Chain A
Amino acid sequence: DAGVTQSPTHLIKTRGQQVTLRCSPKSGHDTVSWYQQALGQGPQFIFQYYEEEERQRGNFPDRFSGHQFPNYSSELNVNALLLGDSALYLCASRNSRTGRLVGTEAFFGQGTRLTVV
């Protein structure tokens, strides 16, 4: 059973460029969340997708946008990259059908390391 998979694993972009990160949830999971983790800090919630809609959003600017596809996979897009966007981007999935949306175990991918130069 494949867990949460993210691509690419590493990425280097230039300031001002745009980037797309991809996530495939664990088999049977329908809800995907994205987190940003700066070095030495805990992950910070960006947004969550369920039924192809953004359900909740953290304190991130509109430069951060996302999408969820009918097969539950998801993309995170960041426009007009800043040096401060350099971080590990983590995708998490959970199964909303086994209980309340907030009560089930979250599984994380290995992350995408984004470096903005």
Chain B
Amino acid sequence: KQEVTQIPAALSVPEGENLVLNCSFTDSAIYNLQWFRQDPGKGLTSLLLIQSSQREQTSGRLNASLDKSSGRSTLYIAASQPGDSATYLCAVPSGSRLTFGEGTQLTVNP
């Protein structure tokens, strides 16, 4: 059974800092890994989809890496802004379902 863990559970940083969010998964036989953002009480916004054949994927200030062999992915956020405050979730496919971590709640202070 696939299990996904995200560390840390919560993170508070001053504006402008670069930061790393971590995601680990137990079954490395995955096709891809997807990072999402969730604002309070809202749905999920897809940030990055990184295929198993890729090692990195970039979108603006966001960079996601994937190391299947070690069962890890990281989401790097450069020059953080207060508008980045949200919960960040990673998810991996297990069959046709997505298995999610519990998320990292990020607060960027002005």
Contacts and interface: CB of A to CB of B under 8 A. Distances in A.
Interface string B37-52: 0000111111001010
Which of A103, A106, A111 has the most chain B CB atoms closer than 10 A to its own CB?
Answer: A106
B51 A103 contact: yes
Contact of A108 (B36, B93, B97, B101): B36
A54 B31 CA distance: 22
A31 B96 CA distance: 10
Contacts of B49: 105
Interface residues of B, number: 25
Contacts of B93: 102-103
A45 B97 contact: yes
B102 A48 contact: no
Contacts of B100: 42-44
A40 interface: yes
Nearest to A109: B43
A105 to B, nearest CB: 4
Interface string B91-110: 10101111111110000000
Contacts of A88: 41
Interface size classification for chain A: 20 to 34
Contacts of A42: 4, 89, 91, 100-103
A33 interface: yes
A56 interface: yes
B46 A107 contact: yes
Nearest to B103: A42
Interface of B: 4, 31-32, 34, 36, 41-46, 49, 51, 89, 91, 93, 95-103
24 contacts: A4-B43, A41-B102, A42-B91, A42-B101, A44-B100, A45-B97, A48-B96, A48-B97, A56-B95, A56-B96, A88-B41, A90-B43, A92-B44, A100-B31, A102-B31, A102-B93, A102-B96, A103-B31, A105-B34, A105-B46, A106-B98, A109-B43, A110-B43, A113-B41
